[in-house]
Amino acid sequence: MHKQVNPLISDRIQEIRHKYLTQVSDTSHSKIWSSVSEKEDYITVTIVIPSKGCSWALSDNGGCSVCGYVNDSSRENQIPVTKIEDELRRLIIEAKYNKPLELQIFNSGSFFDKSDVPEELRNTIIDLIISSGQIIKLSIECRPEFILKEKTAIKEILKRLSNIKLEIGIGLESSNNAILLDCWNKGTTLEKFESSLIYLQSIGVEVKSYVFIKPPFLSEQEALRDSIKTVFDAKQMGTDVISINPCNIQNGTLIYELFRKDEYQPPWLWTVLHLIKIANEIAPNIKIICDPTAAGKERGAHNCGKCDKIVLKLIEKAVQREKLPENFSEICSCYLNWEILMNTPWESFRTRKLSKLRKLNPLKE
């Protein structure tokens, strides 16, 4: 039996979370966020609902060390179901699309956690999706414990959705339980993830596994190794999709505190590119997605500043499994610095110096 939390880390996370959420207690600004993106054969509409907030983040355990999504949740000031219903009606019923629609409804928590998304809201969302007549696929997110607890509800929704495909994204993050416990404070385990995946696939739900790059307390090299192993394990477990998510620093989190004290740096874009390249080899038949938040910025995955845009393009190419240049060191001199870093296992204790490393020209200095 694995420990659920390590008080050494969870107590600190809870302290930071509590302090920050007290400062940003006015949630009246919470609003529904949406975006539309057009692909060749379909249109994706993404809607983020500010639900009550991830119950793991709001618990006495403080939630995950890297996640600040709860900052934007509505908490006690829950948005009325009718308001969300009106907005969804506008986005998925009144708006007419010329291609089939893939709908992503995210609540930055768990869709099947009743304290986060009340049953009334969940049913209203499903009713609207069914009556839309344009939707071919619905993607939502959920923590493993709520998947295992709400099996009946999931089955019922699946039945009601009929031929609308259902995909559930689960935060695997790392397949190493020690990292989930001591770096993430994830409050779940690889075993629970696997049980949820097996159950969902047995009833015909697709599983998207979120794989994270660079939690706190790992060096760049350790983080890359951990994400490669996680991609491998996700593939072995039979995931349908792998979503690769490099860290971005969000306020009110443990990782922000470490970043502020120069004890943590987000991953390099070179690390992200390498991971996708290797993931393509490990999992040639699995769809890989990667759309890094705050990429190229100080708080997101970045390189030296000069090559960030070019490397982001290469990441897009890698996701599309297009051919990549043979020699990355010809793209930018910071690649050599990254290689030095990859041979520096103790990086997390010297980030102040190493953050400057991104900008040094190894040929001149």
CB of 186 to ligand SF4, least distance (A): 7
The whole-angstrom separation of Cα 290 and Cα 246 is 8
Binding of Zn ion by 139 (CB under 5 A): no
The whole-angstrom separation of Cα 284 and Cα 231 is 11
Among 69, 146, 259, 270, binds ligand SF4 (CB under 6 A): 69
Among 9, 103, 181, 332, binds Zn ion (CB under 5 A): 332
CB of 245 to Zn ion, least distance (A): 22
Binding of Zn ion by 304 (CB under 5 A): yes
Q: Which stretch binds ligand SF4 (CB under 6 A): 52-60, 75-83, 192-200, 237-245?
A: 52-60
The whole-angstrom separation of Cα 309 and Cα 177 is 34
Alpha-carbon torsion (307, 310, 313, 319), positive or negative: negative
The whole-angstrom separation of Cα 236 and Cα 356 is 38
Binding of ligand SF4 by 288 (CB under 6 A): no
The amino acid that residue 333 corresponds to is: S
Q: Residue 308: how many CA atoms within 13 Å on its side-chain side?
A: 17
Footprint on residues 121-150 left by ligand SF4 (CB under 6 A): 143
Tell how strand 43-48 and strand 33-38 pair up. Answer: antiparallel
CB of 296 to ligand SF4, least distance (A): 23
- Count of residues touching Zn ion (by CB under 5 A): 6
Sequence-separated (6 or more) residues with CB below 8 Å from residue 279: 228, 231, 242, 244, 288
Site string for Zn ion, 189-228 (x = CB under 5 A): ----------------------------------------
* Residue 332 interacting entry, from Zn ion, ligand SF4, none, C-beta within 5 to 8 Å by type: Zn ion
- Between 50 and 171, whose beta carbon lies closer to ligand SF4? 171
**Residue 184 CB-density burial (10 A; 0-12 exposed, 13-18 middle, 19+ buried):** buried
* Residue 109 interacting entry, from Zn ion, ligand SF4, none, C-beta within 5 to 8 Å by type: ligand SF4
**Cβ(334)–Cβ(358) under 8 Å?**
yes
The whole-angstrom separation of Cα 130 and Cα 127 is 5
- Between 61 and 132, whose beta carbon lies closer to ligand SF4? 61
The angle at the Cα of 72, spanning 102 to 180, to the nearest 5 degrees, equals 80
Binding of ligand SF4 by 108 (CB under 6 A): yes
Footprint on residues 337-356 left by Zn ion (CB under 5 A): none
Q: Which stretch binds ligand SF4 (CB under 6 A): 59-67, 84-92, 153-161, 229-237?
A: 59-67
What is the length of the chain?
Answer: 365
Query: Using CB under 5 A as the criterion, which residues of the chain lie in contact with Zn ion when the complex forms?
Result: 303-304, 306-307, 332, 334
Query: Using CB under 6 A as the criterion, which residues of the chain lie in contact with ligand SF4 when the complex forms?
Result: 54, 56-57, 63-64, 67, 69, 108-109, 143, 171
